Amino acid sequence: MPRVVDAEQRRRELAGAVWRVIRRDGVAGASVRSVAREAGTSMGALRHWFPTQDALLHFAMTLVSENVRARIEGVVRGGGPPAAQVLAVLEETLPLDEERRAEGEVWLALTARALVDDELAALRDRAAAELRQLCALVLDALADAGAVRDGLDTELETERLYAVLDGLALHALIRPTTLPAARVRAVLEVHLAGLRDTR
Amino acid sequence: MPRVVDAEQRRRELAGAVWRVIRRDGVAGASVRSVAREAGTSMGALRHWFPTQDALLHFAMTLVSENVRARIEGVVRGGGPPAAQVLAVLEETLPLDEERRAEGEVWLALTARALVDDELAALRDRAAAELRQLCALVLDALADAGAVRDGLDTELETERLYAVLDGLALHALIRPTTLPAARVRAVLEVHLAGLRDTR
DNA sequence: TCTTTGATAGCACAGTTGTGCTACTTTGCG
DNA sequence: CGCAAAGTAGCACAACTGTGCTATCAAAGA
């Protein structure tokens, strides 16, 4: 068999199979056999790259946060006016298209499993801390641009923005028809607008 | 064996065992055998009350929303000043103590499973619609009490409040140490205060 | 008292699970 | 060419799964 050029690449391919299986059959359906079948390979090959099933799921989880992080960095690198950029950054964490929806479903499934899987919980906590930090940075940027009124409790507002963000993500995930992407964006805009002086 | 006085009561007892198992070992661990063992009964007895495992999980799910609803009705019946009552009602949906935390964990686990279980998804959607309706009622009550400024988009604010609520619930669930109950309440209060005129 | 019914117990079955393990094939390097 | 290593394949095993099914037990109604 052809030697894989990049080991990391191969692992990503297999993790992609994990994603597809999880989206189709849930985490419960993500057995070693079903993932191998989805990836078009064998149990042995799968075990060569991931010594255990948990390792496989953990890697799939890290890929979620890695994807989000990469997209956000892309937006930041892209530049543009602060207000628009802030909105674009936050939107990258929401399941507003098929790609991000897939991430969201995997994220929800693994977040639930993390309730009883310590290692998975550690990954989830790290991702959560990063996302919260992102919210803090967004508020800082808005404050620098003069788009935030004085007298706000920064810590509390960070927590509130983070809650809105994850709440929207969850709702966009489980009721995509009654809460379409445009509506999600509108709620986010209203929230950010509410941070500056009203009337 | 003594005949069970109330069939519904017996079903609730068994569902309680489901909760405990889910909290300890996750949904994946909630097998017919483990639930029966936790309930101190047999597989046969369990199957007498729930013909299938799915039926068992679905009943456990309905109990979550039922509990929340009952507590909310209790608060409403209790009376009191509108502002305090509104806060109390919303708090009943958040995992701020052990009882509600248990509900939250079960809710998260089953919500994730609902991604691939249609019947469970229907239950989740019904609960979600109720919760969203609750947010709408809360906004109405605040408006009647003159605690909401004019010119707000009611639909959008309902969606935003609902997002804050579920976001806080999720965060209180997965990071209880960094986001204690007092802090959750503070965020909620800030959000409600932000609905009336600032300065 | 006997019968019917509610309730419990748990075996049997076919299937799936994760992982240990060995055998095999393909590739790169000397 | 030949050898070592990377990668693939899949069998074997013990453990566990949900559900069908029968047998048993307790109590209520006749």
Query: Residue B199 — pLDDT band, cuts 50, 70, 90?
Result: very low
Determine the residue of chain A that is closest to B161 in CA distance: A164
How far, in Å, are A66, B30, B134 from residue A106 at the CA level? 13, 21, 29
Average pLDDT of the segment spanning A38-64: 97
A122 touches chain B (CB under 8 A): no
Alpha carbons A68 and A63: distance in angstroms, whole number: 9
State the pLDDT confidence band at A198, using cuts at 50, 70 and 90: low
Whether the predicted pLDDT of B3 surpasses 60: no
| Six token digits for residue B177 | 């140490």
CB of A193 within 8 Å of a chain B CB? The answer is no
How far apart CA A171 and CA A168 sit, in angstroms, is 5
Of B124, B175, B199, the CB nearest to A125: B175
CB-contacted nucleotides of strand C (7 Å): 6-11, 16-23, 25-28
Domains in chain A, start-ordered, CATH in brackets? 1-51 (1.10.10), 64-193 (1.10.357.10)
Q: Which of A124, A125, A174 sits opposite B124 (nearest CB)?
A: A174
pLDDT tens string B16-52: 999 999 999 999 999 999 999 999 999 999 999 999 9
**Three-class DSSP category at B1:** coil
Nearest to B165 among A23, A157, A167 (CB): A167
Whether nucleic acid strand D comes within 7 Å of the CB of B53, the answer is: yes
Confidence of residue A3 (pLDDT cuts 50, 70, 90): low
Percent of chain A with pLDDT over 70: 96
Q: Do B162 and A175 touch (CB under 8 A)?
A: no
| pLDDT tens string B50-101 | 999 999 999 999 999 999 999 999 999 998 998 899 999 999 999 999 999 9
pLDDT band at residue B5 under the 50/70/90 scheme:
low
- Looking at every residue in chain A, the average pLDDT score rounds to 94
The letter for the amino acid at B64 is V
Cβ of B160 within 8 Å of Cβ of A29? The answer is no
| CA–CA separation, A133 and A141 (whole Å) | 12
Share of chain A above pLDDT 90, in %: 91
pLDDT number for residue B198? 66
Q: Quick check: B27 and A28 in contact, CB under 8 A?
A: yes
What's the rounded mean pLDDT across residues B193-198? 85
| B42 Cβ within 7 A of any nucleic strand C atom | yes
Strand D nucleotides within 7 Å of a protein CB: 6-11, 16-23, 25-28
SS (HEC) of A146-187: CCCCCCCCHHHHHHHHHHHHHHHHHHHHHCCCCCCHHHHHHH
pLDDT in tens, B127-170: 999 999 999 999 999 999 999 999 999 999 999 999 999 999 99
CB distance A109 to A26 below 8 Å: yes
A13 touches chain B (CB under 8 A): no
How far: B37 CA to D24 C1' (Å)?
Answer: 20
Q: Does B163 touch chain A (CB under 8 A)?
A: yes
Instruction: Report the Cα A64 to chain-centroid distance in Å.
Output: 5
Contact B48, B33 (CB under 8 A): no
